[in-house]
Structure 1
Amino acid sequence: MELPLETVALYALKLAYEREGESPILRDDPIMSDCEREVFGLLVRRGDIEAIQFRVAHCVGLALEALGGIETPLGRELNKLFADFNAAQTMEQLEAPVIALRDYLKVIL
Structure 2
Amino acid sequence: MELLLETVALFSLKLAYETEDSSPILRDDLMMGDYEREVFGLLVRRGDVESIQMKVDECLSLALNAIGGLDTVLGRELNRLAADFSTVRTIEQLDARLIALKDYLKDIQ
TM-score by length of 2: 0.99
1:70 is paired with a residue whose SS is helix
Q: Deviations over 1:8-59 (max 9, x none)?
A: 0000000000000101000000000000000000000000001100000000
Q: Deviations over 1:54-79 (max 9, x none)?
A: 00000000000001101100000000
Question: How many residue pairs end up in the alignment?
Answer: 109
Q: Distance in 2 between matches of 1:90 and 1:70?
A: 27
Q: Distance in 2 between matches of 1:91 and 1:70?
A: 28
1:58 is paired with a residue whose SS is helix
* 1:27 matched residue in structure 2: 27
Identity rate of aligned residues, in percent?
Answer: 67
2:45 equivalent to 1:57: no
TM-score by length of 1: 0.99
* 1:66 matched residue in structure 2: 66
Which structure 1 residue ranges, 4+ long, deviate > 2 Å from structure 2? Answer: none
List gaps (5 residues or longer) in structure 1: none
What root-mean-square deviation, in Å, do the aligned CA atoms of Structure 1 and Structure 2 show?
A: 0.5
List gaps (5 residues or longer) in structure 2: none
Matches of residues 67-106 of structure 1 in structure 2 within 5 Å?
67-106=67-106
* 2:13 matched residue in structure 1: 13
